[in-house]
Structure 1
């Protein structure tokens, strides 16, 4: 995990985002324990309340769960939930603006699909 103390994104959101990213990349697997609030706060010199606030966001999203006396664990299906949420965000933040721009430029759907296919081919090289 890496945190940017100069970033305008609040640290608790960075904590949540970093753990979520670790779930997506399977650095933290389903049913696996994640580092404790204390471990993260000591390792990164952060207020434990800040770390806990970030973790609680993930508890609310049902990506991690508290097991009394044992710690925090990644829930079953957490990776799929992260992927689903990110696909929705990807569509809203990236694809919809491309479609709007294409429509303004009178790029047809088939032309746009050809451009996307060309981009995929170039990306594979």
Structure 2
């Protein structure tokens, strides 16, 4: 986990996103305990209420669950749920604007596929 938080979005959302990333990347697995609020407060040097707000969003979404007096754990199906949410977000945030711009520029589907394959090749170097 990186120590740095930034101004791109509220800190409690960044805490939520980092835990989600750990679940999606298999750093945290089903029924595995997540770092405690105290550990996160100490690690990031931020307010306890800020951490709790991010954690509570995950509990409310069913991504993690509480065991009273023990801690927070990754819920069954959390990874799959997060991946589905991110796929939808990917389409809305990246694919639709890209397709709209491609249409404006007269880029055909074949050209678009070629460009994506070229770009993918760059990332594998």
Aligned residue pairs: how many? 124
Q: Which residue in the other structure is 1:112 paired with? A: 112
Unaligned runs of 5+ residues in structure 1 are: none
Measured in 2, the distance between the counterparts of 1:66 and 1:58 equals 11
Q: Which residue in the other structure is 2:11 paired with? A: 11
Measured in 2, the distance between the counterparts of 1:112 and 1:64 equals 39
1:32–1:74 CA contact under 8 A, matched in 2: yes
By how many angstroms is 1:7 displaced? 1.2
Q: Which residue in the other structure is 1:27 paired with? A: 27
By how many angstroms is 1:56 displaced? 0.5
Unaligned runs of 5+ residues in structure 2 are: none
Q: Which residue in the other structure is 2:51 paired with? A: 51
By how many angstroms is 1:43 displaced? 2.6
* Deviation sequence 1:7-61 (CA, Å, 0-9, x none): 1421111110111111111111111001111121123222111111000111111
1:59–1:65 CA contact under 8 A, matched in 2: yes
Q: Which residue in the other structure is 2:99 paired with? A: 99
TM-score relative to the length of structure 1: 0.89
TM-score relative to the length of structure 2: 0.89
